[in-house]
Structure 1
Amino acid sequence: MEDLPIIQKTYDLIKWYVPILTRLPKAHKFTLGDRMINKLYDLLEGLITARYAKQKITQLKSLNTQLDILRYQTRLLLDLQLIPIYRYEYAGKSINDIGTDLGGWIKQQNKF
């Protein structure tokens, strides 16, 4: 069975983002870094679970909230000068792409 594009995009974001987050300074690595890593893994797990769920809409809306939290956490990394602008832009684009796919999935589920 092929992965949904949103699942693959989330997987790719995790592969790219986790090594960056694990190299944060100690003062942020075990707080913001760990929270973001856990949020990314939760997002991937939630998307996979939603794929097989009968009633997807509630779970998808919850994942949308998690994605928004990741957006703010990513912006916080930039504002605290923990990542350079080019990494912020890449992460933001990736998160927005996932958000677009998630929004489309929610819209499709609202039709049922």
Structure 2
Amino acid sequence: MNELPIIQKTYDLIKWYVPILNRLPRTHKFTLGDRMIGGLYDILEELILARYAQEKLGKLENLNGKIDILRHQTRLLREFDLMSIERYEYVVKLVNDIGSELGGWIKQQKKRSSP
């Protein structure tokens, strides 16, 4: 089965990001790191479920908020000096790509649901 590009990009983000988050110092790993990892897995699961849902729009709009939370958490990592600027720029691009795809999917669903 062909994956939707947004699902594949989220999967790739998890493969790249989780090992980095698992290497955070103890003071951040069990708070921010674990929350971020849980959030990443939630985003992937919800994207997969939305793919098969009859009513996609509500699920997709909820995901928009989760992606924004991930952006802010990533920014905190950078501001706590727990991530290099290069890694930060890379992950921000990945997250923004996922956000753009999600925005397109939401737009498509709004067109379908309007009379």
Unmatched runs of 5 consecutive residues or more in structure 2? none
TM-score, length basis structure 1: 0.99
What's the counterpart of residue 98 of structure 1?
98
**RMSD of aligned Cα (Å):** 0.3
The residue number in structure 2 matching 1:48 is: 48
Give 5+ residue unaligned stretches, structure 1.
Answer: none
Query: CA–CA distance in 1 between the matches of 2:19 and 2:86?
Result: 16
Q: Which residue of 1 aligns with 2:85?
A: 85
Question: What SS does the aligned partner of 2:96 have?
Answer: helix
State the match for 1:12 in structure 2.
12
SS in structure 1 opposite 2:81? coil
Counterpart for residue 107 of structure 1: 107
Note the alpha carbon deviations across 1:42-78, whole angstroms, 9 max, x for none: 0000000000000000000000100000000000000
Q: Distance in 1 between matches of 2:51 and 2:89?
A: 28
Question: Normalization by structure 2: what TM-score?
Answer: 0.97
2 CA distance for matches of 1:11 and 1:86? 21
Structure 1 residue 38: Cα displacement: 0.2
Task: Show structure 1 runs of 4+ deviating over 2 A.
Answer: none
The percent of aligned pairs where both chains have the same amino acid is: 68
Distance in structure 2 (CA, Å) of the matches to 1:38 and 1:61 = 19
Counterpart Cα distance in 1 of 2:84 and 2:63: 27
